[in-house]
A = this chain, B = another copy of it.
């Protein structure tokens, strides 16, 4: 297994910053790729141990390229997730004043986060999209545009300076990234985990999705995300990417997955991994009757009944 992590490049983006929060990167080579797809393909091809890509953004929603790669094609697994708060800096060539800025650039995904700021401070500026925020910074360095929105950390790399920092239209703007690898035994449960799956319904009838979600509710498993994705079979045909609280080694989660496997057309397991939003002290207490101990004791009881010892 090569000791390298692929990630969505180029260098100097929020993705790299998020990736560097993982302790183990100290011992990995980090290799930028030009697209989510190419980074994931590097993992599938065995060229990288894992790939680090954005999966969801609290302003824009799911990153569909990432979701669709996980939904279809050779199975991959989520090993870890990272949450990063997103605020922008306005990077300019040293000496540039706000009043001199006629053109700005950034990745299109940055736009919803800086729109109001622009309207207020630079209402007449021309916006040009860049392939990435880092690439926007590079284009400012080269003199093609006057300013770029990017992470403050990108200033040093491109010889720019931050004219303004902490720019964000939406409070609590966050991006969620995942570290994705080939199928492997999930990391041990921490007590604050989540499990990701994709489900395809058998058919479509009133109450169908309600009953599918009943598989979770009956076992007291809370949903964290329900994201529909088209199956490609035409408008009206969807599968669902679901994140649920708990670890596949939790019995309530395992039994829920069993239930889904039985009643759904297809279920794809995407991994169980620690929740990025919860430390060990914030573990949600399971509902009465849904702890591992209660599952085990209920199973024992049924076995005793089956054996006539009750």
Give A residues with C-beta under 8 Å from B: 56-61, 64, 75, 77, 83, 170-174, 176, 183-186, 202, 204-211, 213-230, 232-238, 240, 248-249, 254-255, 257-259, 261-263, 267, 269, 277, 287-290, 294-295, 297-299, 301-302, 305-310
Contacts and interface: CB of A to CB of B under 8 A. Distances in A.
Contacts of A235: 56, 58, 83, 174, 176, 277
Contacts of A295: 258, 262
A301 to B, nearest CB: 5
Contacts of A309: 183
A231 to B, nearest CB: 8
A207 B237 CA distance: 24
Contact of A61 (B64, B248, B262, B298): B64
Given A185-B306, A263-B289, A228 B227 contact: yes
Given A184-B308, A226-B240, 8 more contacts: A57-B230, A60-B230, A83-B235, A183-B308, A207-B213, A210-B214, A211-B218, A214-B218
Contacts of A262: 289-290, 294-295, 298
Contacts of A248: 302, 305-306
Q: Give the residue among A60, A171, A277, A305 with the most B Cβ atoms within 10 A.
A: A305
Contacts of A173: 234
Given A183-B308, A210-B214, A259-B218, A232 B58 contact: yes
A206 B230 contact: no
Contacts of A183: 308-310
A83 to B, nearest CB: 6
Contacts of A206: 216-217, 220-223, 287
Given A213-B210, A218-B218, A61 B230 contact: yes
Q: Give the residue among A218, A259, A289, A310 with the most B Cβ atoms within 10 A.
A: A218
Contact of A207 (B59, B217, B294): B217
Contacts of A184: 308
Q: List the 6 closest A-B pairs by CB distance, nearest first.
A: A207-B217, A185-B308, A262-B289, A172-B234, A261-B298, A210-B213
